[in-house]
Amino acid sequence: MKQTEFLNTVLPFKDKLFRMAKRLLVSTEEAEDATQEILIKLWSKKNMMDSYNNVEAFAMTMTKNFCLDRLKSKQAGNLKLVHSNYTDSSTSLQGQLEAKDSIDWVERIMAELPEQQKMVLQLRDVEQYEYDEIEKLLDMKPTAIRVALSRARKTVREKLMEKHNYGIA
């Protein structure tokens, strides 16, 4: 596989690898490093890529495993979730502040979720993966995915409503 073929194969999902890494790791810098490491590993396996049914799923699995290994290592300092895809220029400053505050709370709540629920929620609701893709990526049964997703959504919803209704964290 030549460099251009490799780039044409990998570049379309490079941002997804980064977002997954960012969701699981400490910071943007850590996620960038992880993404770069995964791309290097993929490049070293470029001659075997044709044997994989789904290169994107393989890369996402590599990213997940690399990030979880990184978190288990001594480098697992402060986990911070940052997801900044939300922008809405039509709302007032007050509305923007409230929306940002809600997003911050969702990120904090997601940080407290068990690892499996956090990853299922990230893949399904943020990355918009289909259930069968998540099943392959995480090696989970469809019912386990639906249960984990339901529990994660319920926890986020309850804690966010508690925060909005009572002002309690």
The two three-digit tokens of residue 137, written as one number:
């990526």
Predicted confidence (pLDDT) per residue in 14-29, tens digit: 999 998 888 887 678 8
Sign of the dihedral through C-alpha 107, 116, 119, 81: positive
CATH architecture of 96-168: Orthogonal Bundle (1.10)
Domain ranges of the chain: 1-78, 96-168
What predicted TM-score, i.e. pTM, was given to this entire model?
Answer: 0.53
Q: Which of 60-69, 72-81, 112-121, 150-159 has the lowest mean pLDDT?
A: 72-81
pLDDT digits (tens, 9 = 90+) for 111-128: 889 989 988 988 888 888
Provide the CATH number for the domain formed by 1-78 in this structure.
1.10.1740.10
For residue 154, how many other CB atoms are within 10 A of its CB?
Answer: 11
Which tokens go with 67? 């990030």
